[in-house]
């Protein structure tokens, strides 16, 4: 990278706006999984949309490839720089405006951490429902670019359902202002949708108008032990019919995953004894602070009486709600505790999940004696996370590719999705054709060609 690029971009961004050499810390080339490790030659840190537009216009003119970065918590290597790429980071665009209480909206810059938006909403007596384990580090821009799902999709939908408007900068520096703050707008194409879930390949999101909700007046969480998959499915149906729209989470851990969290994640405490086949965290958020806790307990009591639940523990305080959620959020840490490991984020029909562990285990035994399979996730949304490695096999001898092939073959045979919420990035692009038709992929490519003809934005992500 020539000195002339450093000088020209420095003139646009000023002091602190361009980093090079030893000033580039690992944060800009290492993602949450510790995968990198290509130190980029330049990191650009625009502080405004105008600066973002100017530097993209420059990169476009000079044909400089760009890796777009938010909080670097993505799990598919989308933001990790590849050789020769300039990094554009949103870490100086972190403002969160005071919510519009009457309109129930909030405007945040792309680099604002998710948790900062949640807290600003709460301070105004409102609620921003997007929530995931990486809430303290991931950014609104990254959430939008990956169309993040998380823990409350069952009630509030994906990020896509929470974005009313956005502003994005195209590869050539053109600013698209689609900052509407209303739900209904049938005036031609809904252009903001192009940038949601596009993983930074169609433009860089700079700001968004997000939808807020009334703050729930009650929150109760239960951890339940169940002894069959039929009971899990029955319990989900029971919760959906009895507490209906107040059901805000239904998260399942297979027993091996629960055991791994209890063993490997130091800050969590077991909520229930080990030994059940499945563990469910379920949450109710309601509008009647006085009656809801009782209603929740009654609902669980009915499930116990019907034999759906073998055991259950219910939160009695905010601290207990947090502790039970930490036990669920520990899944990502337990899965990450083993290296190397192959991890998956799949969608399947719930009816196709019952024998998943057994069928996968049988298939993997063709490649290894003792597969370790951790499964859990957002079963209420048909989305599971899986992590697989061979037990007792040295890291360098792990049959990683065979594991990947077997899992995706099974997902393909069951017409599932190879990525439910993490995206494709670099890690999963070989498997995109398993979930999307050739015609769909061709249309994606022509959109990409129209909006970024030189292919400078996140080159190689999503498509091979």
Ligand X SMILES: Cc1cc2nc3c(=O)[nH]c(=O)nc-3n(C[C@H](O)[C@H](O)[C@H](O)COP(=O)(O)OP(=O)(O)OC[C@H]3O[C@@H](n4cnc5c(N)ncnc54)[C@H](O)[C@@H]3O)c2cc1C
Contact residues toward ligand X (CB under 6 A) are 32, 68-75, 78-79, 90, 110, 132-134, 138-139, 141-143, 145-146, 148-150, 199-200, 204-205, 332, 421-422, 425, 458, 461
- Specify whether the CB–CB gap between 16 and 9 falls below 8 A: no
CB of 257 to ligand X, least distance (A): 14
Dist. CA 409–CA 85, nearest whole Å: 33
- Classify 385 as helix, strand or coil: strand
- Of the pair 353, 420, the CB lying nearest ligand X is at 420
The single residue listed with the structure tokens 């698209």 is 176
Q: Work out the angle at residue 204's Cα, subtended by the Cα atoms of residues 200 and 210, and round it to the nearest 5 degrees.
A: 100
- Of the pair 49, 458, the CB lying nearest ligand X is at 458
Let me know if 259 is exposed, middle or buried by CB neighbors in 10 A (0-12, 13-18, 19+). middle
CB of 167 to ligand X, least distance (A): 10
SS (H, E, C) 54-115: HHHHHHHHCCCCEEEECCCCCCCCCCCCCCCCEEEECCCCCCECCCECCCCEEEEECCCEHH
SS (H, E, C) 273-337: CCCCCEEEEEEEEECCCCCHHHHHHHHHHHHHHCCCCCEEEECCCHHHHHHHHHHHHHHHHHHHC
CB of 398 to ligand X, least distance (A): 21
Dist. CA 18–CA 86, nearest whole Å: 10
- Of the pair 222, 332, the CB lying nearest ligand X is at 332
CB of 238 to ligand X, least distance (A): 24
- Of the pair 293, 416, the CB lying nearest ligand X is at 416
CB of 354 to ligand X, least distance (A): 23
Residue closest to ligand X, measured at CB: 142
- Of the pair 79, 224, the CB lying nearest ligand X is at 79
Encoding tokens for residue 345? 């984020």
Among residues 314, 301, 321, the alpha carbon closest in space to that of 242 is found at 301
Pairing of strands 42-44, 86-89: parallel
Cross-strand pairs, 87: 43, 67
- Of the pair 308, 346, the CB lying nearest ligand X is at 346
CB of 427 to ligand X, least distance (A): 11
Dist. CA 233–CA 351, nearest whole Å: 9
CB of 241 to ligand X, least distance (A): 26
Phi-psi region of 34 (alpha: psi -120 to 50; beta: other; left: phi over 0): left
The single residue listed with the structure tokens 């969290």 is 261
- Of the pair 277, 333, the CB lying nearest ligand X is at 333
Let me know if 95 is exposed, middle or buried by CB neighbors in 10 A (0-12, 13-18, 19+). middle
DSSP 421: S
CB of 139 to ligand X, least distance (A): 4
CB of 92 to ligand X, least distance (A): 12
- The residues, ordered by sequence, that sit 6+ positions from 264 with a Cβ below 8 Å of its Cβ are 333, 334, 337
CB of 99 to ligand X, least distance (A): 21
CB of 334 to ligand X, least distance (A): 11
Encoding tokens for residue 436? 């999307």
- Specify whether the CB–CB gap between 312 and 266 falls below 8 A: no
- Of the pair 133, 380, the CB lying nearest ligand X is at 133
- Of the pair 156, 296, the CB lying nearest ligand X is at 156
- Of the pair 13, 110, the CB lying nearest ligand X is at 110
- Of the pair 205, 411, the CB lying nearest ligand X is at 205
């Amino acid at each position: 990278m020539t000195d002339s690029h450093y000088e020209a971009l420095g003139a646009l961004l000023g002091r602190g706006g361009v980093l090079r050499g030893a000033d580039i810390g690992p944060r800009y080339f290492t993602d949450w999984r510790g995968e990198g490790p290509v130190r980029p030659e330049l990191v650009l840190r625009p502080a405004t949309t105008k600066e973002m537009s100017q530097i993209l216009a420059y990169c476009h003119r000079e044909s400089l490839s760009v890796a777009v970065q938010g909080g670097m918590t993505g799990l598919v290597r989308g933001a990790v720089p590849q050789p020769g790429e300039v990094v554009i980071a949103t870490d100086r665009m972190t403002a969160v405006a005071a919510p519009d209480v009457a309109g129930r909206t909030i405007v945040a810059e792309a680099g604002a951490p998710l948790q900062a938006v949640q807290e600003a909403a709460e301070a105004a007596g409102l609620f921003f429902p997007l929530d995931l384990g990486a809430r303290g580090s991931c950014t609104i821009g990254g959430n939008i670019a990956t169309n993040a799902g998380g823990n409350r999709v069952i009630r509030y939908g994906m990020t896509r359902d929470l974005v009313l408007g956005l502003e994005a900068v195209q590869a050539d520096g053109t600013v698209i202002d689609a900052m509407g703050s209303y739900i209904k707008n049938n005036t031609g194409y809904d252009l903001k949708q192009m940038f949601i879930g596009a993983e930074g390949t169609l433009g860089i999101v700079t700001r968004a108008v997000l939808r807020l909700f009334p703050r729930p007046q009650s929150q109760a969480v239960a951890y339940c032990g169940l002894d069959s998959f039929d009971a899990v499915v029955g319990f989900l149906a029971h919760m959906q019919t009895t507490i209906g729209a107040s059901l805000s989470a239904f998260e399942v851990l297979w027993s091996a995953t629960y055991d791994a969290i209890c063993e490997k994640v130091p800050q969590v405490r077991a909520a229930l004894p080990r030994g059940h086949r499945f563990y469910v965290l379920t949450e109710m958020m309601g509008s009647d602070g006085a009656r809801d806790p009782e209603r929740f307990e009654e609902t669980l009591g009915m499930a116990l009486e019907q034999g759906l639940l073998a055991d259950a523990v219910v939160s009695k305080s905010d601290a207990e709600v947090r502790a039970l959620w930490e036990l669920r959020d520990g899944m990502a840490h337990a899965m990450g505790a083993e290296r190397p490991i192959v991890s998956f984020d799949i969608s399947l029909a719930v009816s196709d999940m019952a024998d998943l562990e057994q069928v996968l285990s049988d298939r993997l035994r063709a490649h290894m004696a003792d597969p370790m399979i951790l499964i859990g996730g957002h079963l209420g949304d048909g989305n599971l996370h899986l992590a697989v490695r061979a037990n007792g096999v040295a890291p360098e001898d792990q049959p990683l590719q065979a594991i990947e092939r077997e899992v995706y073959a099974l997902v393909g045979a069951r017409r599932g999705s190879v990525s439910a919420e993490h995206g494709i990035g670099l890690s999963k692009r070989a498997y995109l054709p398993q979930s999307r038709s050739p015609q769909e992929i061709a249309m994606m490519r022509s959109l990409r060609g129209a909006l970024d003809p030189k292919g400078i934005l996140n080159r190689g992500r999503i498509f091979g």
